[in-house]
Structures are given as structure tokens and as C-alpha cells.
A and B are shown apart, each in its own frame.
Chain A
Amino acid sequence: MWRKIAPGKQAENQQTMLNAPVIIAVSLLYIGLLFAVAWWGDKRADQGRSIISGPTVYALSMGVYCTTWTFYGSVGRAAVSGIGFLPIYIGPTLVMALGWFLLLKMIRTAKANRITSIADFISSRYGKSHLLGGLVTVIAVVGIVPYIALQLKAVSGSISLLISYPEIVMPGRSATVPVFADMSFYIALILAAFAIVFGTRHLDVTERHEGMVAAIALESVVKLFAFVAVGLYVTYGIFDGFSDIFQRVATDETLRHLTTAIPSGQGYTGWFSLTLLAGLAILFLPRQFQIAVVENVNESHLKRAAWLFPLYLLLINLFVLPIALGGLLHFAGQGIDADTFVLTLPMSERHEALALLVFIGGLSAATGMVIVETIALSTMVCNDLVMPLLLRLKGLALVESRDLSRVLLGIRRGAILFILLLGYLYFRLAGEAYALVAIGLISFSAVAQFAPAMIGGMYWRGGTRDGALAGLTAGFLVWGYTLLLPSFAKSGWLAADFLTQGPYGFALLRPQQLFGLTGLDEISHCLFWSFFANIGTYVMVSILRAPTAVEASQATLFVDALKHSRPVGAALWRGRAEVTELMALVGRFLGPQRAESAFAAYALRHGGVAIEALDADAELVHYAESLLAGAIGSASARAMVASVAKEEPLSLSEVMNILDEASQLRTYSRDLERKSRELEAATGELKAANVQLQELDHVKDDIMSSVTHELRTPLTSIRAFSELLRDDPKMHLADRERFLALIVSEAERLARLINQTLDLAKIESGNAEWRGSELDLKEVIEQTVATTDQLFREKNARVELDLPDGLPLILADRDRLIQVMLNLLSNAVKFLPPQVGCVRLTLQPVAAGLEVAVTDNGPGIRAEDHEIIFEKFRQVGDTMTDKPAGTGLGLPISRRIIEHFGGRLWVESVPGQGATFRFFLPFVPAVISTENAPK
């Protein structure tokens, strides 16, 4: 159906740049640019200077998620359902931001097992089953090929729109154009060529294609740029900003409903289903698996993709609503399809360059999707459909053929061409049919069927091959019945009463009200029943029988993918093989040269022996198998290795034992690691303790030396005087008496010294006895003063007391406090000037305690000595001031006593102005716990 729009008053024959030759030239130039970028990327990769080694390229290449369905279709959806287009982007955003660990596990697993497609992933997980890989491939092809067709249709539609410029003619059935005159046909062929050149350049064991990824990342930039450009133009060029558009819509009765949060006709269930579906699609769409898992260079890139890709989605959706609403306002009643607004809005405003840019943006969205999807599907078709069949055909030249790598590449290339032509064919046949127009979500729903087998496989050891087969089959059948067939019916390819009456009139089997389930939109309905069948049969069939040996071992590889530091795969093989045979086998599929270099690399890692001298043990066999798995899929690789090696199958219990051992080894090695960390820590502590001990030893030495010095000094005098007396019986009486008095005094000093040293040692070691009692500090001070009365009188010194009554009691040891006061008083007396000496004692309440001060009018103490005097044996002063009396221990002991009761003892002094020794005692002693300190 052709719908003509009156061109208006514009000049008819105006010169325009939007004609067929220009469009063809621009398209070819753009695709040429893609070839150039991809070629450059591959070249750089060959030189080892990868251009895709950055996380940004990885995140951008994920933008392949946004196809023409996004580029043109989002606006179409928004024009019908307002923000109803959003779940398609909310799902992936949630998965990337919150569910990235799923992707991480997929990447780690795929790398460890050389998995190159989602079919291979599922097949490998459930015991390397050909059947399962084939089934996944079939589901993927059936679900995805129409999606490829949709891209071609979008390209074709955009071309026909541009060609009819300056008129705006809605693209009708393209079938009216012969195939060979249809530009989208040639575009499909060029894309096939691109996929062949950059997707199957050579067989790589990792199936990575750096050039292709670089081109895809570029395409993501181009389509985002084009979409934002047209968005800005519509919002600020045609209209007067966001608010202008939304105000106009608000005043329009027919459009107002589009600005409500959940537009009518689409409930919360629908939102939930679409979000879930899109979230699963970002993980399991073959092209997403290819880009996010297979092409991943470094799993740390995931970190940036986790926010950059959602940001990309946000940016490309920013202008969807303004363009949709702007288009509805602009083309009100003109019958312009909202899916074309992105292109028709600039066209209607005669903005040719912008229209051309939008066309290129749409082209980039289409080509990116087609290229990656085709490469991903061709790998699956080759490895999981064609190879197993070829390997089964006995007598085929395949077996004798020396080098199969060319055959393999041929199959891949054929598959690419086949898939693209299939897509084109579907597009030509389906045309404007509903089945094609609605394929986006239908396709997503098909891919979602992989979810139970994938997620179950990664987290549940109990899943079996039979369970996965049953679940996938059931889910796929229900999907076909509730979504695909109805879309055929809606396209008129099936009788309409299939939908309304049910098959053969069974109303209970109506495909979109299955078993009477109504009230759901078709996607939610399909998702509910297909997941019910899929998950139900997967779990039920899986638990019917225990996993076999190979299923159990694969399950361990997948479920514990994030735990293994080293794959245990090699441990699960027993048998004999020949190195030469293994290398020949690998060579047949990878090419002899690649095989040889791979084996040489292996030999180098294992002691640098010659390849022939390698021991064909389980590890080498496993290595060979993983090389093959990258090229022909894990199931085929398993079969091929089994054909050259004499294998002894392991029983389930043996596998379990090995896995058990492996996990025990892991536990042991974890324990060992922990132990060695603990040992290191202990060594460090010991070292520190040793250093501390050495310091303490040094201190002890110093103290011993000081103590002996202090002890020897009085002993020296005592011995000298004694000998003098002994040797001189005729000594004068006066001398005799003087010397005897000195001996007595020195002996007293010695005894005091010994007592105080022991006392201090007791206090310091925590062995001192403390008696706590409530006591009146005033009374203690007065008693001490009374006992030292004699000392003051000898020096003719005065004592002044300032001791107020009625102060609170404190908790302390009475004898110890007397000891402190005696020390302070005798210390003060020692330094008093003769005749005019005066000691002043004050007691005063301060915050939370009492403070005692002993002030003398002696020579004072230099500031640098204020702390030294509290050290052991450190008397200061220039002279022999009454030296024999002091032991150098009085102040250190006093300080420790005061501190024991939670107080402080310190000195305040200015040389020449006397000194004040002051201590503070709290009402509630903070520390009386020294008694309990370790002895």
C-alpha cells in the first residue's frame, strides 16, 4: 500500500543530494570504512598491538545490543505506549549493574574451557553433548534469523524513504522491487563478505576477532551520534526544547495519555516481563554472548562496562520520547509511521545532511547486529550442527583428509552466507507481516529459553543433559505455540480461528489464553508458560537420575569456575595417547603450522623439551582437546580425541573421588596459604618482640650497671673507712668516731638503696601489694609533716600548711601515700637554702580529684631536667648536695605510686625560684588493676 503525502509548496525539481547514486555511494563508503577499521584492527592484533585492549572499546562494542529496533523502533514504541519502550533498556542496565557476576562467571568458564558460543557453553556443561548443542543452535537460528530479516527490512525501508525524497512515501511491500534491483540484497551480500573476511579469516582457538570488534565499537559510536544529533535537532530545532514538546502534548487530548507513568494497556506485569526478557537477552543473545564473553580480552573490562554500557543505553534513549511526541505533533493526521520519525522529521524539514546522517546511523545499527549475529550463529551452525553430522558420516573423505582447517573455514563461510540469505529470504517473504514487525520481542523470548539451562548449569550441580534437553525442548515448543504460531496467524499465514477458537475448537488450548490464562499481554503469557514448562521439566528430569561421571565433572568445572585457580579437567582423564597422533589430530583442524606452534608452546612451558619427547599424559590430552574445542566445539573435540586415544572410562565414583580430592587439595592449599600467612605474621611479631627484648635487655643492662654502681659507691666508702680503722689502731678518737659514723650512714644508705630497688621492681612487675582504703588526705599530710619535723629543724627551715577541712575522701593506700609525701618532703629539705628555707604544703580540690603541692625555695630545676629527675638513678644538680642521702629512686617510685591510683605527679620550676612538686589524685581511681597484671 502506497501512502502519498502531499509535498506541500516546496519546489518540485529542486536539486537534492538525496538521490540514489549519493545514497549508494555513502552506504558503500560507510561500509568501506568498517572494512578499513576491521582490517586495521586485525593487523594491529597480528602485530601484538591490540586496539581493543581497552575497557572502553569492550563497553562500546556491547552497544551491538542496540539494533535498528532501537534506532527506529524505540520511537515507534514510544509513540504508542509512552515510556513503554524503556523496559528493553532497564533490563540490561540492571543486569550489567547488579548481575555482572553472572557475566564474569560466563567469561571465566568460557575462557577456561575454550567455549566459543552459547550452544557450546550449554553442550559442554551437560557432558559435551552433540544433541544439546544442536538443539540450542536450532533454537538460536529459528529465533534469530527473523531478527536479521528485520534489520534488512529496516535498511531497505530507510533507503526507499530517502529515494523518494523530497516526497515522504511510506515504504510499502518491497516485493515490488526485484531482488537484483533491491539495494538491501547487495548490502546483505556485502555484510556476508565482511563477516567472512573478518569473522573467519583463520581458525582461532579462542574465536576472537579483534578487527570485527573494533568496527562494532565504531558502529556504536556512529549510531549514538546520529541519534543524539536528530534528537537535538527535533527538540531544539523543530521545537523549543523539552518543555515545549511536553507542554504541547499535555494540551493535546489524544496524546496526553502517553506521558503517564504506566500507559494504559500495559500493566505492571508487562513491565516486569519485558524487563526480565531484556535482562536475559543481554546475557544470552548469541551476539551478546559473542561480544561480551567470547570477544572479551580481559575480564577486568567488565568493571567499566558495568557502568559505561548502561550509560550508553541512557544516552541513546534520552531523545526517544521527544522525537516520538514531536513526530506525533508534527505529522498529526498525516499517516506517517512513527517507526520512521527519526528519518522523516529531518526530511520534512528539508534537512538533507541530517537525514543522510540518520540513515547512516540506522545502517550502522543494522550492520553491527547482522555481522556479529551472523558470525555467532555460523560458529554454532558449524560446530554444533554440521561438524557432528560430518564426523558421523563414516567413509567420508573427511577422515583421510590431512588438513581439515580449510574444510572447517569453508563450512563457516558457507554458514554465514546461508544465514544471511535465509534472513533476506524471510524478509522478502514476510514483508510487512506482523510476524516480522513483532520479531524483536519474539526473538528475545526464544533466547530467554536458554536461561534455565545456562543459569542452572552455572549454579546447580544436579542439572543433567536429559534435564537440559527436556527443558529447552519444552520451553522452545511452548514459545513456538504461544508466540511464534500466533504471530503467523496474525500475519494471515494461519487461519485466524486458531487464535480465537483454539486448534480444532479446543478453547482451552487457545495459544494466547492457554488453559484459560487470561489478562496477560502476549509476552508475559508466553514467558509464564514457557518458563513454567522449561524450568519445570529441566528440574524434574534432572533429578530423575544422578549426573553421570562426565556430567558431574563438567558441572564442577562450571559451578566452581570462580574457585579453581587451575582447571581440574586434566585430572578427569585416564588412558594412553601418542603425542604425534594428538598433534596430527589438532593439525587437521587448526592447520599443521598452528598445531605445531601450539604444541611447541606447551613443550616450552613443560621444561622446554622437544615436542616428540613430551609425555602424552592427561594434561597434554586435555590441552589438545581444548585446542580442538575452540575450533570445532567441545562435543566434537571430545569425540575426536577419544578416536585417537585409548581411554579408560572413569566411573562416577572415581570422578567423584577425584573431584573430592581436588576440593580437598583446594582446602589444604587454602589452609596452607592461611598457615603460611599466619607464620609470616608470627615471624614478624617475633622479630618485633625480639627487637623489643633486645631493647629491654639493653635497658636492663643499663639498670644493672646503674644499680651496681649505686651499690658499689657506698660499699667503697664503707670498706675504705673500715680498712683505715683496721690498719691504724692508734687513730685519733675524733677521726675514729667520725669514720664510724660515716660507715653507719653509708650502711644505712646501702640498705635504703636495696629496699627501694626491690620496691620499685615489685611495683614495676605488678607484684606490689596495694591496700585501698578511704582516707583523708589532709590527715595523711599532717602526719608526714610531723614525722619529718626533725629534718626541718636541723635546717632551720619553716613549713607552711594550707590544708582546708571537709574535703572528700579518696581511695588509696595510706602507707604508700605517706611514702610519697616523705619522699617529696625530704627531697625539698635537701635543696633548701640554710636558715631561710621554707617549704609550703597546699591541698586543694580540683575537677574530679584533689591536688597536693610541695613548694620549696631552693635553687629550682632546669626545664630540661623536669622529666629526667623522674628517671631511675638520675639525680641532677651540680654539687654533692647531701649526696649520700639520695638513692635516685625516690621520685620514680613516688610517680609510680601516684599513677597507680590514677593520678599524676609532676614538677613545676623556674631555676632560681624554687620548685613545686605537684600531684593529683582522682576521687575514683581509674586504675587499681595492677594487682591483676601478669606476674
Chain B
Amino acid sequence: MTKKVLIADDEPNIVISLEFLLRREGFEVVVAVDGEEALTKARAEKPDLVLLDVMMPKMNGFDVCQAIRADADLAGMRVLMLTAKGRETEVSKGLGLGADAYMTKPFSTRDLVAQVRLLLGS
């Protein structure tokens, strides 16, 4: 069964590259360009994994992650946080809020794909 991935980022070019990458790897892709849209799409589309940027308009990635974890309907959804802020505190904050993994921008596309596959157990 095809796994569904939600890409949440406000940088259009990053979205374009991630979308292309993940489709090529055989995933179904949904896109959100701000925090609120990310949460709405997470609830509506029930993706298996969310690639979640931290710095987004309207609602930041930490809050989205927290909301996902607080929502019983979304139990089991994997969250991979992506951020350009690579400081330790950011990483631990994200993991503390329930993210499954954390990657710092710029990332290697191979590593990202490997990480996504690892999280989805495939």
C-alpha cells in the first residue's frame, strides 16, 4: 500500500524539491504551506508521515507537532521535523514535543529518504 506523506513548509522551492523527491520514491504526497493548513491536512488526509518545517507562518511546527500528538485520531502518525535552526535546544524541544526524528536543513536527499523509510518501516 502506498504510504502518504504530508509536506509542510512555507518555502516554495523546498516544497517543490521535496515533492519531486518523494513522488519519485513512490510516496503519495500532500502539501501544506503554513502551520494551520498543515494541521488541517493532517486531520483530513491522515498521512502516515509529516515532514514538518519549524518556522512557518500562522502556526509554527512545534505547535503543529504538539496538536498532532494531542489528537487521539492521529495516533501513530510519524512526524519528521525539518528546520534551518540547528541548535541543540531546537532539536531536543522538537523531540520532547513528540517528533519521531529531526533533520537539519540543508539535508542530504538520500539521508532524508532513508530516514522516511525507516520511520515508515518499509
Contacts and interface: CB of A to CB of B under 8 A. Distances in A.
Interface in B1-23: 10-14, 16-18, 20-21
Contact of A724 (B14, B86, B109): B109
Interface of chain B: mostly helix, strand, loop or mixed: loop
A716 B87 contact: no
A716 B84 contact: yes
B17 A724 contact: yes
Interface in A686-727: 705, 708-710, 712-721, 723-724, 727
Interface stretch (B38-46, B63-71, B72-80, B100-108): B100-108
B110 A708 contact: no
Interface in B84-106: 84-87, 104-106
A712 B57 contact: no
Contacts, number: 77
A720 B17 contact: yes
Nearest to B54: A709
Contacts of A884: 11-13
Interface residues of A, number: 28
Interface stretch (A71-79, A210-218, A849-857, A875-883): A875-883
Given A880-B11, A883-B10, A716 B34 contact: no
A716 B58 contact: no
Specify which of B16, B58, B86 lies most central, judged by the most chain A CB atoms within 10 Å of its CB: B16
Nearest to A728: B24
B85 A716 contact: no
B29 to A, nearest CB: 14
A735 B20 contact: yes
B55 interface: yes
A727 B24 CA distance: 11
A716 B106 CA distance: 4
B13 A742 contact: yes
A716 B107 contact: yes
A597 to B, nearest CB: 71
8 contacts: A713-B14, A717-B13, A723-B110, A724-B17, A727-B110, A739-B17, A742-B13, A877-B57
Contact of B106 (A710, A718, A877): A718
B33 interface: yes
A883 B12 contact: yes
A339 interface: no
Contacts of A717: 11, 13-14, 17
Contacts of B33: 879-880
A502 B76 CA distance: 133
A746 interface: yes
A723 B108 contact: yes
B109 A713 contact: no
Given A705-B85, A716-B84, A742-B16, A883 B106 contact: no
Nearest to B18: A720
A878 B57 contact: yes
A705 B87 CA distance: 8
A873 to B, nearest CB: 10
Contacts of B34: 878
B105 A716 contact: yes
A775 B20 CA distance: 52
A715 B87 contact: no
Contacts of B58: 878
A709 B60 CA distance: 15
A880 B9 CA distance: 10
Given A716-B107, A720-B109, A723-B109, A709 B55 contact: yes
Specify which of A716, A742, A880 lies most central, judged by the most chain B CB atoms within 10 Å of its CB: A716
A844 B52 CA distance: 49
A880 B14 contact: no
A708 B109 contact: no
Specify which of B12, B13, B55, B107 lies most central, judged by the most chain A CB atoms within 10 Å of its CB: B13
A883 B34 CA distance: 13
A721 B20 CA distance: 9
Interface string A854-879: 00000000000000000000000111
Interface string A826-849: 000000000000000000000000
Interface string A401-412: 000000000000
A720 B85 contact: no
Nearest to A717: B13
A110 to B, nearest CB: 72
